[in-house]
Amino acid sequence: MCARLEGWAWNRLLDMLTSGCPCQIAAILLYMPFYFGFASQAGGLLPNLVSPTRGAQLWVMFAPLFIPLLSYHAYLLRGDRRTGKWRLALLLALALVIVLLAAALLVAWIAALREPGLVDGFLSAQGVPDYGALLRPALLRRLMFIGGLLTMLAIFVPALAYLAAMKTETPAHVEVPAAPALR
């Protein structure tokens, strides 16, 4: 019988461990040279308030993933004529953008309280005396390079709209076809 038809069982966990652990060990071993030589330009958990990811850079990196997703969204909208809860999705996406921006500002503020020397060095490298002088140009720069945000919204909003419109009802009785008898 097919494993999906059997449902949940502890042997599924054993199957996952026996196939997943060797794959994880192989992945760690194969990436070990990369891990030893890796040096990142990111210097910790401080959010990047000044230099947003440009839309072109985002597309260069993730176009092989974006094109199938956007194509599927277009199919759902045009070909399948599926409806979505667009207003709810747009409001949730905009709320998420605002919450993420507020979280980045909060993390930066906490970092300024905990490590003032680090933040002072960052502010002097940007040529501004304080956060107030940094925030307005940083937010304007995010608006100038809004392509990355628009790309992410173009993927996230339709997905959220279609998910919000999905019916969660399951049929009361689902018939499972019997397995053919072996002779």
Is 161 found in the same domain as 85? yes
| Other CB atoms within 10 A of residue 116 CB | 10
What's the total number of domains in the chain?
2
pLDDT in tens, 92-145: 999 998 998 888 888 777 877 887 777 777 777 777 777 777 778 888 888 888
* 37-47 pLDDT, tens digit each: 777 666 555 56
Enclosing domain of residue 17: 9-38
Residue 153 is assigned to a structural domain of this protein: yes
Q: What is the pTM assigned to this prediction?
A: 0.59
Query: Is there a single domain that holds both residue 59 and residue 21?
Result: no
* Domain shared by 32 and 106, yes or no: no
Residue 172 is assigned to a structural domain of this protein? no
- How many whole angstroms separate alpha carbon 100 and alpha carbon 106? 10
Tens of pLDDT, residue by residue over 155-177, are 999 989 888 887 654 555 556 66
Whether 174 maps to a domain, the answer reads: no
Q: Which of 151, 145, 150, 127 is nearest to 61 (CA)?
A: 151
- Clarify whether residues 26 and 88 are in a common domain: no
Do 78 and 21 share a structural domain? no
Residue 178 has pLDDT above 70, yes or no: no
Same domain for 116 and 150? yes
Do 112 and 157 lie in one domain? The reply is yes
User: 17 and 61 share a domain?
Assistant: no
How far is the C-alpha of 147 from the C-alpha of 106, rounded, in Å? 24
At 104 the pLDDT is: 80
pLDDT recorded at residue 26: 93
